[in-house]
A and B are shown apart, each in its own frame.
Chain A
C-alpha cells in the first residue's frame, strides 16, 4: 500500500466535521479553514452537502499541510461530530490513531466499537458548555475550539474568526461564542493534554495566503478582464459567481442582473455584448440546456458571449449539489447547426482566474460563444493561494477586431459587418455610429447583414464562420503536463479531477512508482497537433474523469485518433480521492467502472 500515515505528524492531517444541514457545518468548516490559512498553513477544503436547507447529513473535510495542496485525503485523523449519526457514517474515513470528538450527552454512541478499531474516543461536555453560555446552536463553536485544543493549535486563530463572523451580527453574539470556545478549549486540553499525535503548529512569518474557490477566481478574473455585465439565474453550483460580482463596490460599474430564467439571462448578456460591453452568464447543466438556442444565436450573429458552465451530477435535477464532468460533449455539440465555439476547462483555482479574463479575449477575437467549463468540486472547494497567484496585473485585454467609435467614423467605404476574410474574422462595429447602421439577423445573411439564402452566399458564409475555429486552434492551450516528463503511467484528465490526479501521481512517485498527469484545458477547438504530440510521449494512458461514458477519452479519440489504454470513470457525485485513483489504476481499474 502506498502512503501509509506516519503515526505522528505535524501540519499534515485531515479533519472532518459532520452534522445536519442547518447546524453550520459549512460555515464552521470554512471558518476553521480560514483560521488555519491565517496560521500560515496550506489548506484544501471540501464541502459535501445535500440540496436542502435543513436536515440531512453534511460534512466538511479539511486537509492541512505545509506545501500547496490540490486534493483532500482519506483517511482523516480527526472527526468532529455534530450529530450522533456522523460517527457511524464516517467510520470508514478513519484509521487507527484517529480521534473522534463528540458531546458527552450522546450516551447511545457505541464507544467499544470505536476503540476496537484503535480510535481515540473522547466524550467532552461540549453541549453542556454551549448551552450554559448560549444555546445548543453553538455546539459547532465548541467543537472547533476542541479541535484546536486536541491538535495543539492555539485558540487565538479560531477566536479571531469567531469574533469577525459573529461580530458582524452582534457584539453580544461574538462574546457568547468566544466564551463557549474558551471553555471548550480548556476542557479539551484538560482531557488530552498533548497526547494526540497529530499536531497543528502555526508557521511563524509565513506569507499571507488567500482562501478561495473556483467560482470566486473566475468572477475575479472576469472583473479584471473588463466584464461589466453579468446576468444569471440562481443554480447550484454556479450561483456564487453572480453573488460575488453583485457585491463588488459600485465604483467598478459592474452591473449584475438576476433574470427571470436562464433564457433571459443568456439573452441579456448577448444584448449587452451586442452593444459592446463585455458580458457573461453563469449556470450549471440544467440552465445551460435552456441557453442552448441563444448560444446558436451568438454563433450565427457573431456576437461574443461568455458562459460559465459549472457542471453537477445529471441528468435532469440529478445530484444538485454534487460534482460531475458529464456535459463535455454536450457543450461541444450544443445547439442546432454548425458554428464555431470555444470550450475551455480550467482545473485549478489559478487556472480559473486566467479563464475568467481570457474567455473574453477569445470571445472578442473570434466573435463566438466561449464556454468556461468547470464542475462543482472546482467551483466550491476552497484552497489556499499565494497572493500573487491572483495577479490583476497579469490580465491582458484584447478586443480583437473590435472597432472603436472613432474607427467607425473614419470608415471610407460601406461597412460590411460580415465581410469575407482569410481568417474568418470580420471587424465588428457597435451600434451607435452613423457610418455603421445595419441589421444583424439570426437568418443566414450576406456580408452586409441582409437575409440571404442564395447557395453561393450560404456556402461562403459557412466557410467564413467555420474558418474562425481553424484560426483559433493556433492559440488553444496544449495539454499541461504535471510531474516527470517520462513516466510509466500517465493520468489523462481535466477539470477538478486534475488536483486529485496530481496528488495521486505525487504519492505514486514518492512510493517509488512512476506517474505523471496530462491535463486537457482547451477542449474545443482541440489543439490537435499539440495533443497528439503530448499523447505520443506517454506510455500507459488512463483517462480519469467523472462521468459514465469517458467523454474526455472519446473527445481525444475523436479529434486526435489516439485511444486511451483505460478509462477510470466515477459518477457517484463525489470527487475522486487520490487513493481511489491509485487503487483504480493499480487494480486495472477494477474498482471503478471501465468505460
Chain B
C-alpha cells in the first residue's frame, strides 16, 4: 500500500509547548514539507533529538522519534543508521546540544560521514533553562550566566564543520520557510553527513538576535556560487557579524558514507534483522572460531 503523502500526514495529536512566534514552528513545518516533497513516509524516517525546546520536535510530529539526552543524539543516530540503513535518519537538536555538550560527537560525525541529516536549531541561547549564553552567543551578550557580557568568541559552526571534514554544510533561516524546506530536502538527499545550521530566533530569551537582526544580515548565495569549491566555502564560513550567507555553503558528493565502507555490513543482512534469528542457523560457523584457542 502506498500512502499518499501530505504535510498533514506528519501531524501529531500532542500539546505543543513552544512559545508563540518561536522559530521552531517554522522548522517543524519545513521538515514536514521536505519529507513530503521527497516522498518519505513517517515510518521510513527516524528523528533523533537531544534536550532543549527544539528537541521536543519529534513529540509534535507523527514520525518515528527517539528523544534522547542532552548532546547525544548524533551517536544514537549513528548506531541506529548502522543497524538499519533503510531508515532516513535525521537529528534535530540545538546549539547547546550540537556545539556545546555534544561538540565531540559533532566534530567526529563531520569526519565520519554517516548518512545522517543534522538540523541544528541555533538560537544562540539556552532557552529551556531560561536564558543563558550558548556556544554561538556573540561577544558581549548579556545573560544570567554572563551578566558582564559573554567574553568567549562565538563558535562558527560552518567553519568548524568544514575543517572537520563535513561533506554537506548549509545554513538557513527560520524566517524563510521556503528556503528552509528546500535546504532540508537537499540535505536529506545528500549521501553522507549533512549539517544545517538554522538561524532560529528565540522570541522569549534572546532579545538581541531577533527576526529583524537576522533579516538585516542574511543573504542568499547566488546561482554563481559553487559550493563544491572549498576555498569559496572557507571564505563564506567565516562571514558572521555583518553578513551571514544562507544556502548550501559546501558540498562534496564524491566521498563514500561511513556505512558504505563497513565491510561486515555488506557481507550480512541489516543488523536489525537479527530479530529473525531464533537459533544459531549454523553451529559449525561458531565451532570453527574455537580453533584459535588451541
A210 to B290, CA, bound (A): 7
CB 8 Å contact bits of A433-448 with B (1 = contact, 0 = none): 1101111111100000
- Contact for B68 among A220, A297, A434, CB less than 8 A: A297
Q: How many residues of B contact A (CB 8 A)?
A: 68
Contacts of A293 in B (CB 8 A): 69, 72
Contacts of B163 in A (CB 8 A): none
- Contact for B271 among A255, A433, A436, CB less than 8 A: A255
Q: Are B267 and A229 in contact (CB under 8 A)?
A: no
* Residue B246 interfacial (CB < 8 Å): no
- Contact for A274 among B76, B107, B290, CB less than 8 A: B76
| Chain A proximity of B291: nearest CB distance (Å) | 9
* Residue A216 interfacial (CB < 8 Å): yes
Which of A251, A255, A397 has the most chain B CB atoms inside 10 A of its CB?
A255
A88 to B259, CA, bound (A): 55
- Which stretch in A148-156, A326-334, A387-395 binds the other chain? A387-395
Q: Are B108 and A260 in contact (CB under 8 A)?
A: yes
* Residue B155 interfacial (CB < 8 Å): no
* Residue B43 interfacial (CB < 8 Å): yes
A250 to B87, CA, bound (A): 23
A209 to B291, CA, bound (A): 10
A211 to B293, CA, bound (A): 5
Chain A residue nearest to B107 (CB atoms) is A260
Q: Are A434 and B41 in contact (CB under 8 A)?
A: yes
A261 to B101, CA, bound (A): 13
| Given A210-B294, A224-B280: A264 and B265 interface contact (C-beta under 8 Å) | no
* Residue B274 interfacial (CB < 8 Å): yes
* Residue A212 interfacial (CB < 8 Å): yes
Chain A residue nearest to B273 (CB atoms) is A276
Total A-B pairs, Cβ < 8 A: 222
Q: Are A437 and B67 in contact (CB under 8 A)?
A: no
Chain B residue nearest to A265 (CB atoms) is B75
Chain A residue nearest to B278 (CB atoms) is A397
* Residue B186 interfacial (CB < 8 Å): no
Q: Are B72 and A261 in contact (CB under 8 A)?
A: no
A251 to B288, CA, bound (A): 13
A437 to B48, CA, bound (A): 14
| Chain A proximity of B67: nearest CB distance (Å) | 4
Contacts of B178 in A (CB 8 A): none
* Residue A253 interfacial (CB < 8 Å): yes
Q: Are B76 and A271 in contact (CB under 8 A)?
A: yes
Contacts of A61 in B (CB 8 A): none
Q: Are A397 and B79 in contact (CB under 8 A)?
A: no
Contacts of A277 in B (CB 8 A): 83-84, 271-272, 274
A450 to B286, CA, bound (A): 43
A387 to B289, CA, bound (A): 11
Contacts of A229 in B (CB 8 A): 79, 82-83, 271
Contacts of B41 in A (CB 8 A): 434
* Residue A171 interfacial (CB < 8 Å): no
* Residue B158 interfacial (CB < 8 Å): no
* Residue A208 interfacial (CB < 8 Å): yes
Contacts of B293 in A (CB 8 A): 210-212, 216, 385
Q: Are B287 and A392 in contact (CB under 8 A)?
A: yes
Chain A residue nearest to B86 (CB atoms) is A432
A268 to B77, CA, bound (A): 7
* Residue A206 interfacial (CB < 8 Å): no
* Residue B192 interfacial (CB < 8 Å): no
Q: Are B76 and A268 in contact (CB under 8 A)?
A: yes
- Contact for B75 among A259, A273, A405, CB less than 8 A: A259
* Residue B20 interfacial (CB < 8 Å): no
8 Å CB interface, B242-291 against A? 262-269, 271-280, 283, 285-287, 289-290
Q: Are A268 and B82 in contact (CB under 8 A)?
A: yes
Contacts of A402 in B (CB 8 A): 275
* Residue A592 interfacial (CB < 8 Å): no
- Contact for A276 among B274, B289, B294, CB less than 8 A: B274
Chain B residue nearest to A217 (CB atoms) is B293
* Residue B129 interfacial (CB < 8 Å): no
Q: Are B80 and A275 in contact (CB under 8 A)?
A: yes
- Contact for A231 among B12, B58, B79, B263, CB less than 8 A: B79
Contacts of A399 in B (CB 8 A): 275
* Residue B226 interfacial (CB < 8 Å): no
* Residue A267 interfacial (CB < 8 Å): yes
- Contact for B62 among A260, A271, A437, CB less than 8 A: A437
A150 to B283, CA, bound (A): 43
A439 to B66, CA, bound (A): 6
Q: Are A267 and B264 in contact (CB under 8 A)?
A: no
- Contact for A260 among B104, B273, B280, CB less than 8 A: B104
- Contact for B67 among A37, A259, A397, A441, CB less than 8 A: A441
Contacts of A63 in B (CB 8 A): none
Q: Are A270 and B272 in contact (CB under 8 A)?
A: no
Q: Are A276 and B83 in contact (CB under 8 A)?
A: yes
Q: Are B67 and A253 in contact (CB under 8 A)?
A: no
- Contact for A252 among B47, B61, B262, B268, CB less than 8 A: B268
A279 to B79, CA, bound (A): 9
Q: Are A437 and B64 in contact (CB under 8 A)?
A: yes
* Residue A121 interfacial (CB < 8 Å): no
Q: Are B79 and A269 in contact (CB under 8 A)?
A: yes
8 Å CB interface, B154-178 against A? none
* Residue B51 interfacial (CB < 8 Å): yes
Pairs A-B, 9 closest by C-beta atoms: A253-B268, A271-B79, A439-B65, A210-B293, A268-B79, A392-B286, A267-B75, A276-B272, A277-B271
Q: 29 A-B contacts, Cβ less than 8 Å apart?
A: A37-B294, A220-B286, A228-B271, A229-B79, A255-B83, A255-B265, A260-B107, A264-B74, A264-B75, A264-B105, A264-B108, A268-B78, A271-B48, A271-B77, A272-B83, A272-B271, A275-B80, A276-B275, A294-B72, A387-B290, A392-B283, A392-B286, A395-B280, A396-B279, A404-B276, A432-B87, A442-B67, A442-B69, A451-B14
